[in-house]
Structure 1
Amino acid sequence: MYLVLLAWGYVVVMMAIAETMSPNGTLLGALLTLLLYGVGPMALVVYLAGTPLRRKARRRAEASASAAPDGRCEPPAAAEAPRITPVREEP
């Protein structure tokens, strides 16, 4: 994916240079070419390609938040029921 983005960036930079060097071209036209053909579409592609990674990270964070502090998924035995030791009374 990064190779495609790098190649697309190269093409867009060459388009912007051609826009600047053209007899009817301007720097504003080159800047708009760079932004509208380069930065915008590449940012969209990177965002859409990163969606599965963000989804995995969110699920992993939710799973770790729901686990007990000691890392186990079940509650500790002491929290189930308090144990009361019987006290023997002397007659």
Structure 2
Amino acid sequence: MYLIAIAWMYVVVMMTIAEAASPGGTLLGAFFTLVLYGLLPLSILLYILGTPARKRRIKARQAQEAPAEGHPPSGTSSGVAPDARSQPPAAAQTDSVSPVREES
């Protein structure tokens, strides 16, 4: 991933130098070439390509913090493992009120 970024920045720096050194070019044009062709697109690309690594770091950090804080393992809300059908155990269910019909 970084090899592509280094190669692209090399090309952009060469374009910037050519813009600044050409008779019709300006330093302002060279600056905008560097920013708009190099830094802005490269920062977006590196942000997108770095998303999986950021997610792995966040999950690893949460996995380290969870046992220290005494939280149950992820996937269970009460610390009691669900049964084979992924339903909560009967003790964890709330009491439900049966509907009452109004008599007319």
Q: Normalized against structure 2, the TM-score is what?
A: 0.61
Paired amino acid for 1:11: V
Aligned length: 72
What is the aligned-residue identity percentage?
49
- Residue 53 of structure 2 corresponds to 53
Runs of at least 5 residues in structure 1 that lack an aligned partner in the other structure: 75-91
Q: What secondary structure does 1:42 align onto? A: helix
Q: What secondary structure does 1:24 align onto? A: coil
- Equivalent residues in 2 for 1:1-91, closer than 5 Å: 1-68=1-68
| Higher relative contact order, structure no. (Cα contacts within 8 Å, ≥ 6 residues apart) | 1
Q: What secondary structure does 2:42 align onto? A: helix
- The ranges of structure 1 where at least 4 consecutive aligned residues each deviate by more than 3 angstroms after the TM superposition are none
Paired amino acid for 1:10: Y
Q: CA RMSD in A?
A: 1.9
- State how far apart, in whole Å, the 1-side matches of 2:42 and 2:68 are: 41
Runs of at least 5 residues in structure 2 that lack an aligned partner in the other structure: 74-78, 80-104
| Shift of residue 21, structure 1, vs aligned partner | 1.5
Which has the greater radius of gyration? 1
- Say which structure is richer in helix: 1
